Amino acid sequence: METPSPAVPAFDATFRRHLLDLLVWRRDVRHFRREALPKGTLARLIGLACLAPSVGLSQPWRFVQVDDSARRRAIRDNFEACNAAALQCQAGERAALYARLKLAGLDDAPCQFAVFADRATAQGHGLGRLTMPATIEYSAVMAVHTLWLAARAEGIGLGWVSILDPAAVEAALAVPAGWTFIGYFCLGYPQHCDDVPVLEREGWESRRAPDTVLLQR
């Protein structure tokens, strides 16, 4: 006897409008309130992130929650050094704008975590990554994006701290050899919400029109 198929949910027009709102209002948050998140929030969001697609069902994402003050300080020092070096690469008015932008929520965000991709995982049995091994990292990024949307749906903001030296992060967090650093993240309630990215509001860059990223053959 065949097992009956589960009922397929109806994603109606109302749901699609809400999904569009979620995508539009997702932001890379840099300014957080210091209010603590409810207990278990990160674990629950990670559970949702684990629903993300992955190459060969390898689920290579690895999350490291960073609560230890010394490790957080090491990440902050790493950021400060890399941020200073990045500032020197800018010139003129753009340098002044870069200096004004607060590119980290490391001081205020109540929750911090790092994401890594485990290239050595046996899960998935190597399916889909022989010719494109980077799909392991791509899969971990998909998990990050899934968590990002899930958090925003609850009014929680996520900030990606990209100005870091990966080797220094790996050393500070003492992760297993073979894990590839994907990103360091701040999680908490945002001070402000907006449907326009702060970099666009500040004149750093503007969003491209969709028709400029499509190549037809």
DSSP the chain: -PPPPPPPP---HHHHHHHHHHHHH--B---B--PPPPTTHHHHHHHHHTTS--GGG---EEEEE---HHHHHHHHHHHHHHHHHHHHT--HHHHHHHHHS----TTT-SEEEEEEEETT--TTTTTT-SS-TTHHHHHHHHHHHHHHHHHHHTT-EEEEE--S-HHHHHHHHTPPTTEEEEEEEEEE-BS---SS-HHHHTTS--PPPGGGS----
- Give residue 62's pLDDT: 98
- Give residue 103's pLDDT: 65
- Give residue 64's pLDDT: 98
Query: Domain coordinates of the chain in residue numbers?
Result: 28-194
- Give residue 87's pLDDT: 81
Residues (pLDDT < 50) of the chain are none
- Give residue 88's pLDDT: 84
- Give residue 2's pLDDT: 76
Architecture label for domain 28-194: 3-Layer(aba) Sandwich (3.40)
- Give residue 102's pLDDT: 64
- Give residue 3's pLDDT: 80
- Give residue 28's pLDDT: 94
